[in-house]
Structure 1
Amino acid sequence: MAEVIVVPFRRIAIGNYEEFRQPGAFKAALSELISTLIFVFAGEGSGMAFSKLTNDASTTPAGLIAAAVAHGFGLFVAVSISFNISGGHVNPAVTVGAFLGGNITFFRGILYIIGQLLGSVIACLLLRVSTGGMATAAFSLSTGESVWNAFVLEIVMTFGLVYTVYATAIDPKKGNLGIIAPIAIGFIVGANILVGGAFDGASMNPAVSFGPALVSWNWKNHWVYWAGPIVGAAVAAGIYEIFFIDHSHEAVPTVEY
C-alpha cells in the first residue's frame, strides 16, 4: 500500500496587493465592517444595558445568560447578512482559519480583518455616544484566573467556533447543512459564553476585544484575546483540512470564502 503523506495548509494562497483595488474585495470588506458593527453593538450594548438596569450586576448568572443570548442572536444575524457577500466571517480568527485552509487569500484576509476591527471600534464609539458616555467594558480576567488559564480557554472555545464554521460553511460536502450555518455559529458562541464568560469574558474574537479596549484604552492582558483565538482557529483549520476535507478532485484551489 502506498504511503499517504498529508501536508497541512498546502492550499494557502497569498494573492497580491492588486486585490486592495478590486471592487468585489472592497465590498466584501465593507460587508464585514457592517456585520461586525451590528454584532458588537448588540453584544457589547447588551452588557451595558444590563449593567444600567441592575446597578452594574452584569457579572451575575442572569447577566451571563443575557450576554450569551445577545451574542448568539447578534452573530446569527451578522453572519446571515454577510454570508453571500463575504462569507460571513465577522471575526479575524475565522478569517485566519479560512486563510490557512486556502479558502481566502492573504491580501483579501487583511482587508477583512481591517473591516472587522473598524466595525468593532465604530460600534463602541456609537454605544458611548448613544448612552450618554457610558464606558465600553474591555475584556478582562476574573479574580483568580491567570493569563495562561484564559489563553487555554480562548484556544478551546475558538477551536469549537472555527471547527463549526468549517463543518457548516466551508466544507464542500456541507450540502443543505449550509443553510443552518449562521444558526450553528451563533449557537456555539452563545454556548461558549455560558462556559467561559465567568472566567475571561469569552471573546473568541479579536475584533470583539479590540473595539472596547481601544475606546476605553484598557489593554491589560489584551494579547490573550488575540493569541488564544488565532491558535484555536489554526488548530481547528488544520484538523479539519487534514482529516475531513477532500480536495482531491479540485483542479484549482478555491481562494475565496
Structure 2
Amino acid sequence: MATSPAAEHVDEENARGEETRQGDCLSSTGVVRLIQKTIAEVVGTFFVIFAGCGSVAVNKMYGSVSFPGICITWGLVVMVMVYAVGHISGAHFNPAVTITFAIFRRFPLKEVPIYVLSQICGSMLASFTLYEVLSPKPAHFFGTTPAGSDMQSFVLEIITSFLLMFVISGVATDNRAIGELAGIAVGSTITLNVFVAGPISGASMNPARSLGPAIVMHNYKGIWVYLVGPIIGTFLGGSVYNLIRFTDKPLREITKSGSFLKSMSRNNSL
C-alpha cells in the first residue's frame, strides 16, 4: 500500500520525537544531579584526604606540623569542604556515613554504591598524589595503624565514629537544628576526636580515609579495625539520635530550617 507524503512527514516527525525523548532520558535531571553529586564526593574526599593525610606525612618527614596542627588540619579541611559541596552532594566523604544514612532512609539506597566508590576513588587519588609528590618511606606511612592492640583501636573507632554520626544527625538531619553551623559542628567534632584517639588508633572514623593510603603504600596492618569500627559506630550514633529526635512541638515549628539544611534535605530526598 502506498504511503502519502503527509504520512511520511508524520513518521519522520515521530522518529525525531522518539530520538529527542531518548536523548532527554539520557540527560535527565536525575542523571545530571547524580553525576554532579558523584564529582562533588570525589573532589571533596580528595581534598579531605590530601590535606589531612598530607599533614601527617609532612609532620613525619619534616616535623614541622605537630600533633595539634594535624588535629586542626583535619577539622578545618572537613569544615571547608562541607561548606563547599554540602549543598550539592550532602558532603558525606565517608562510606560509613553514607551507609548509615541509607539504613535510616535518609539517603537513596541505590546511590550508596556510587557514593562509596566515589569516596574510595577520591581517597586513593589523594593518597597516590601525596605518595608521588612527597616520596614517603614506609616509616612515613600516612594511613592509620593501631598503636596498641587491634581491639583497643577498634573500640576507639566505634566511640569516635558514634560521636561523629551523632553530631551529623543532629545538625544535618534534624529540622530543629541551625543548619548553617553544620560545617563548624562536624569539623570541630573531628578535631576533638583526633585529639583524643589520634595517638592510639589514628582516629580514622572513615573507611575511605584508611583504605586509600593502605592500598597506595601497601600497609594493611589492622585494616579491619578501620573498615568495621566506623560502620558500627556511625550506625549506633545514628540509632541513638533517632531515639531523641521526636518532639511534641507544632509542625510549623519543627519544619523551620536554614538554607543549608534545606539543601541537605533536597539531596537526601533525591
- Do both share a fold (TM > 0.5)? yes
Larger CA deviation: 188-197 vs 124-133 = 124-133
2-structure distance, mates of 1:43, 1:187: 14
User: 1:103, 1:255 within 8 Å by CA — same for their partners in 2?
Assistant: no
Task: Look up the match of 1:173.
Answer: 176
Equivalences for residues 10-21 of structure 1 within 5 A: none
Task: Look up the match of 2:70.
Answer: 67
Task: Look up the match of 1:42.
Answer: 51
Task: Look up the match of 1:107.
Answer: 110
Task: Look up the match of 2:31.
Answer: 22
Task: Look up the match of 2:257.
Answer: none
Any stretches of 5+ residues in structure 2 without a counterpart? Answer: 1-27, 252-264
Amino acid at match of 1:93: A
User: 2:53, 2:143 within 8 Å by CA — same for their partners in 1?
Assistant: no
2-structure distance, mates of 1:215, 1:80: 29
User: 1:158, 1:233 within 8 Å by CA — same for their partners in 2?
Assistant: yes
User: 2:87, 2:267 within 8 Å by CA — same for their partners in 1?
Assistant: no
Task: Look up the match of 1:31.
Answer: 40
SS at match of 1:83: helix
User: 2:102, 2:108 within 8 Å by CA — same for their partners in 1?
Assistant: yes
Equivalences for residues 1-257 of structure 1 within 5 A: 22-54=31-63, 63-132=66-135, 136-142=141-147, 145-174=148-177, 177-245=178-246, 256-257=267-268
- Count of aligned positions: 225
Structural RMSD (CA): 2.4
- For each residue in 1:70-109, what CA deviation from the matched residue of structure 2 results, as whole angstroms up to 9, or x when unmatched? 1011111121111000111111111122112211011212
2-structure distance, mates of 1:243, 1:69: 30
User: 1:64, 1:193 within 8 Å by CA — same for their partners in 2?
Assistant: no
Residues 245, 127 of structure 1: alpha-carbon distance in 2 compared, 3 angstrom cutoff: farther
TM-score under structure 1 length normalisation: 0.81
Q: Which runs of 4+ in 1 moved over 3 A?
A: 132-136
Task: Look up the match of 1:14.
Answer: none
> Displacement of 1:173 after TM fit?
2.1
SS at match of 2:204: coil
> Displacement of 1:245 after TM fit?
4.3
Amino acid at match of 1:30: I
SS at match of 2:205: coil
2-structure distance, mates of 1:201, 1:131: 20
SS at match of 1:85: helix
Task: Look up the match of 2:23.
Answer: none
SS at match of 1:137: coil
Give the percent of matched residue pairs that are identical in Structure 1 and Structure 2: 30
Residues 235, 157 of structure 1: alpha-carbon distance in 2 compared, 3 angstrom cutoff: same
SS at match of 1:202: coil
Any stretches of 5+ residues in structure 1 without a counterpart? Answer: 1-18
TM-score under structure 2 length normalisation: 0.77
SS at match of 1:218: coil
> Displacement of 1:172 after TM fit?
2.2
Max Rg structure: 2
> Displacement of 1:154 after TM fit?
0.4
SS at match of 1:90: coil
2-structure distance, mates of 1:86, 1:76: 15
- For each residue in 1:34-53, what CA deviation from the matched residue of structure 2 results, as whole angstroms up to 9, or x when unmatched? 00000000001011111222
1-structure distance, mates of 2:134, 2:123: 16
- For each residue in 1:203-253, what CA deviation from the matched residue of structure 2 results, as whole angstroms up to 9, or x when unmatched? 00111101100101111210100111000111111112233146x97xxxx
Residues 212, 141 of structure 1: alpha-carbon distance in 2 compared, 3 angstrom cutoff: same
2-structure distance, mates of 1:108, 1:224: 25
Larger CA deviation: 228-237 vs 100-109 = 100-109
> Displacement of 1:137 after TM fit?
2.6
